């Protein structure tokens, strides 16, 4: 008998991975959590049946969500991470000795518990003494701080279920307020390819543009996400991801990465024409 994990990427497209073994399946307060072992992608985590992390390609997502802003502002010391229960973003951030404090706000404690037990590859730095985990809704958490964080990373699920509020104008407005003058917001920006993902990407872009003077989008290749073509947003009060890239500083750190480098940093902001058009429609 064969066991397969299948995710619907659209009503007419499905993506399947052959499963060796199911390790966990639990219905938490916020979402259903599953962990599987697979031959092709190693261990994988799904939430409500949507693929979040695979051991094989998580490095692409987590390197691109952290090293892009860090290479733009070496003075980043205080960071807020929203979501990110698998720990991959925290693992990359804790490689910077210059970072002094990280608040991580994850709505679902069960995701963190499961990842600590089954996904040590990503969860390995959640105990770092600079990391302070708050189990609450990021939408509410971000209403309080003012001028407090140099970097906010929104490493969320998609814009439905618990993640829905993290794509709203109210949320981005509060992020603006919570950031310092040199602050940067990086967000999970969906994909331009399939229509429903492209609509979500446009909605997010429109809402961020309404709040931040600098609002750029960059791309990467994530084989297990719908279409494989995924985007993050880079928003700031003034810093440019291109003009302010401090390649010399970042390269002298000597961090070993598998996907990110400072040439790719610049290239990732060069977008295909159809993506530019989608983003221009948000003007
Ligand atoms: N790093 C992952 C990847 O590679 O795709 C992304 C997903 S991470 C598991 C997303 C996390 O966001 C989930 O653990 C989910 O519980 C959390 N989340 C969703 N909505 C949230 C909210 N409103 N506030 C805080 N965390 C939220």
> Which CATH number goes with the domain that contains 154?
3.40.50.150
Judgement on whether residues 142 and 208 belong to the same structural domain of the protein: yes
**Residue 109 pLDDT grade (very low, low, confident, very high; cuts 50, 70, 90):** very high
Residues 172 and 217 in one domain: yes
Whether the full predicted model's pTM is greater than 0.95, yes or no, is yes
Judge if 151 and 254 occupy the same domain.
yes
With the most atoms of ligand 1 within 8 angstroms of its CB, the residue from 156, 159, 223, 230 to mutate is 156
- Whether residue 161 is predicted with pLDDT greater than 80 in this model: the reply is yes
Ligand 1 centre to CA of 79 (Å) is 16
Task: Judge whether residue 184 has pLDDT over 90.
Answer: yes
Q: CA-to-CA distance for 61 and 58, rounded, in angstroms?
A: 5
Pair 86, 205 in one domain: yes
Ligand 1 atom closest to the CA of 166, numbered from 1: 23
Smallest Cα–Cα separation from 185: which of 216, 146, 230? Answer: 216
- The arithmetic mean of pLDDT across residues 221-237, rounded, is 97
Percent of the chain beyond pLDDT 70? 100
Average pLDDT value for the chain: 97
Q: Which two tokens stand for residue 82?
A: 């929203």
42 shares its domain with 86: no
Considering the domain architecture, whether residues 120 and 25 belong to the same structural domain is answered as no
For the cut 80, the answer to whether the pLDDT of residue 283 exceeds it is no
Distance CA(119)–CA(57), nearest Å, equals 13
pLDDT bucket at 28, cuts 50 / 70 / 90: confident
User: Do 16 and 128 reside in the same domain of the chain?
Assistant: no
Same domain, 12 and 145: no
- pLDDT-based confidence at residue 17 (cuts at 50, 70, 90): very high
Q: Is the pLDDT of residue 94 over 80?
A: yes
- The pLDDT assigned to 143 comes to 97
Q: What does the pLDDT read at residue 1?
A: 86
Instruction: Assess whether 83 and 7 both reside in one domain.
Output: no
61 lines ligand 1 (CB under 6 A): yes
Final residue belonging to a domain, choices 11, 36, 54: 54
Same domain, 31 and 74: no
Q: How confident is the model at residue 120 (pLDDT cuts 50, 70, 90)?
A: very high
Residue-level pLDDT at 147: 98
Q: Which of 54, 69, 84 is the last residue of a domain?
A: 54
* Predicted pLDDT of residue 118: 98
Co-location of 50 and 62 in the same domain: no
Decide: 28 and 225 in contact? Cβ < 8 Å: no
Percent of the chain with pLDDT over 90: 96
Residue 155 annotated to the active site:
yes
| Closest atom, ligand 1, to C-alpha of 122 | 1
Same domain, 90 and 31: no
pLDDT tens-digit readout, 190-226: 999 999 999 999 999 999 999 999 999 999 999 999 9
Structure tokens at 21: 């073994």
Catalytic residue among 86, 150, 155, 197: 155
- C-alpha of residue 136 to centroid of ligand 1, in Å: 11
What is the domain range of residue 268? 58-280
* Mean pLDDT to the nearest integer, 248-260: 98
Domains identified in the chain, total number: 2
């Amino acid at each position: 008998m064969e066991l397969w994990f299948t995710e619907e990427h659209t009503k007419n497209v499905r993506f399947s991975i052959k499963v060796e073994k199911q390790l966990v399946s639990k219905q938490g307060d916020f979402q259903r959590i599953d962990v599987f072992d697979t031959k092709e992608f190693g261990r994988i985590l799904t939430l409500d049946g949507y693929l979040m992390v695979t051991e094989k390609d998580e490095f692409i997502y987590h390197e691109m969500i952290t090293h892009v802003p860090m290479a733009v502002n070496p003075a980043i010391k205080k960071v807020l991470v929203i979501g990110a229960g698998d720990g991959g973003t925290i693992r990359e951030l804790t490689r910077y000795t210059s970072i002094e404090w990280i608040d991580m706000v994850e709505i679902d404690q069960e995701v963190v518990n499961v990842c600590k037990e089954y996904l040590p590859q990503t969860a390995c730095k959640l105990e770092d003494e600079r990391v302070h985990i708050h189990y609450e809704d990021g939408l509410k958490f971000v209403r309080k701080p003012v001028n407090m964080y140099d970097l906010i990373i929104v490493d969320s699920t998609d814009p439905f279920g618990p993640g829905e509020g993290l794509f709203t104008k109210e949320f981005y407005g509060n992020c603006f307020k919570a950031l310092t003058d040199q602050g940067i917001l990086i967000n999970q920006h969906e994909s331009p390819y399939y229509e429903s993902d492209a609509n979500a990407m446009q909605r997010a872009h429109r809402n961020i543009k309404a709040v931040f003077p600098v609002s750029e989008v960059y791309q990467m290749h994530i084989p297990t996400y719908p279409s494989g073509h995924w985007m993050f947003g880079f928003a700031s009060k003034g810093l440019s991801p291109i003009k302010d890239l401090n390649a010399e500083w970042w390269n002298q750190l000597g961090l070993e990465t598998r996907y990110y480098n400072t040439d790719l940093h610049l290239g990732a902001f060069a977008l295909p024409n159809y993506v530019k058009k989608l983003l221009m429609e948000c003007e």
